[in-house]
Amino acid sequence: MRQKILVTGGAGYIGSHTCVELLAADYDVVVVDNFSNSKPAALDRIAQISGRSVLWHEGDLRDRALLQRVFSQYAFAGVLHCAGLKAIAEAQREPLRYYQHNLEASLTLLDAMAAHDVRRMVFSSSATVYGEGARVPYREEAPLAPNTVYGRSKMMVEDVLHDLVQSDPSWHIGILRYFNPVGAHPSGLIGEDARGSVNNLMPHLCQVAIGKRAELPIFGHDYPTPDGTGVRDYLHVMDVAEGHVKTLQYLATESGLLTLNLGTGRGYSVLEVVRAFERASGKRVPSRYVPRRQGDLASYYADATRASSVLGWHAKRDLSEMCADAWRWQSNNPDGYI
């Protein structure tokens, strides 16, 4: 009998790649997703890659009746909680919606888990919880001071998980703080289907290369970094997916709370990413310097040693592979999932 894992937001970018890794590790996967930022087609593609299907239920995590039905139907061994909203600027404009989908949805999910005695969860958090004050490279024990609504919504869920484990040590909780996941499954069948206004660097690069946008705006070139552009810790989404499976496996026997950075431990500047992308895609990407984007930090990257010492996880794929896989996905699927 395979263990069943619930993946919330499993049709999304991180969730879909994680489903592929779960299936490869011989778990059964059940997805709950409201498809607010994804399409069911992603789940068909996962099945195409894996040769095994994913069971899924369309619905919102805040719907208690839905969760009651799903948790009654399957005996879950654990939950990967990837569902959530993630657009930083949108969150500043619509804080209530973000707290509802990120915080309220998590509380409702945890309630359902407790009611059905499912106490193993991996939560998708973000490096953005560290905020401005922390020393680079960010270590997990650095104080948290997020400077955005989105970041605070993640920190609040982390606080809830911390309090939960304090009150009842029989929970097995993993918090994964991702740095900048990019790239796609090497098949080119699943990837980041960026909809609406694209804000992040890699999807924007892809859209310029495919001809949907004329040029890449580079937000600031006067940062205190080697070439003046912002520096981030980009890591391949398949490494992120593997990190989830390893954390889930670790939590099968270890209780309490485990908080880990998922990053490579090194940063690349915007210009370095642009050059790597041009080499990988064979496309020239016109770009233009524009003023700094509000809220952006100059430079940060992970101290990734804890994930390595606790899980034996480290990011294996380099920047050229991240760019090549992102481009394969984009060029094979110019309009995303249709």
Measure the CA–CA gap between 64 and 235, rounded to whole angstroms: 35
Buried residues in 250-275 as b, exposed as e (16+ CB within 10 A)? bbeeeeebbbbbbbbbebbbbbbbbe
Q: Which amino acid is at 102?
A: N
Q: Which of 218, 235, 307, 322 binds ligand UFG (CB under 6 A)?
A: 218
For residue 131, give the DSSP letter: -
- Is residue 207 a contact point for ligand UFG (CB under 6 A)? no
Nearest of 313, 252, 299 to residue 137 by alpha carbon: 299
Q: How far is the CB of 335 from ligand NAD (least distance, A)?
A: 16
* Strands 231-232, 256-262: pairing kind: unpaired
CB of 51 to ligand NAD, least distance (A): 23
Q: What is the dihedral of CA 60, 102, 185, 323, to 10 degrees?
A: 140
| DSSP string covering 49-66 | HHSS--EEEE--TT-HHH
CB closer to ligand UFG, 13 vs 313: 13
Q: How far is the CB of 258 from ligand UFG (least distance, A)?
A: 19
For ligand UFG, give the closer residue by CB, 120 or 154: 154
Which H or E run includes 268?
A: strand 268-269
Q: Does 200 bind ligand UFG (CB under 6 A)?
A: yes
Of 127, 184, 190, 251, the one binding ligand UFG (CB under 6 A) is 127
Q: Which helix (H) or strand (E) holds 237?
A: helix 237-251
Residue numbers of the site for ligand NAD (CB under 6 A)? 9, 11-15, 33-38, 60-62, 82-86, 101, 105, 124, 126, 178, 180-181
Of 124, 180, 259, 264, which lies in the binding site for ligand UFG, with binding defined by CB under 6 A?
Answer: 180
Q: Which of 286, 296, 316, 332 binds ligand UFG (CB under 6 A)?
A: 296
In whole angstroms, the minimum distance from the beta carbon of 274 to ligand UFG comes to 9
Partner from ligand NAD, ligand UFG, none contacting 276, C-beta within 5 to 8 A by type: none
Decide if 98 is catalytic: no
Q: Per rule CB under 6 A, is residue 305 in the interface with ligand UFG? A: no
Residue 128 carries which DSSP code?
G
| 201 contributes a contact to ligand UFG by CB under 6 A | yes
84 binds, among ligand NAD, ligand UFG, none (CB under 5 to 8 A by kind): ligand NAD
Which of ligand NAD, ligand UFG, none is residue 105 near (CB under 5 to 8 Å by kind)? Answer: ligand NAD
The yes or no reply on residue 138 touching ligand UFG (CB under 6 A) is: no
Q: What is the C-alpha separation between 209 and 310, in angstroms, rounded?
A: 39
| Dihedral angle of Cα 188, 26, 77, 240, to the nearest 10 degrees | -40
Please report, as ranges, the residues that interact with ligand UFG according to CB under 6 A: 86, 88, 126-128, 179-180, 199-201, 204, 216-219, 230, 232, 270, 293, 296
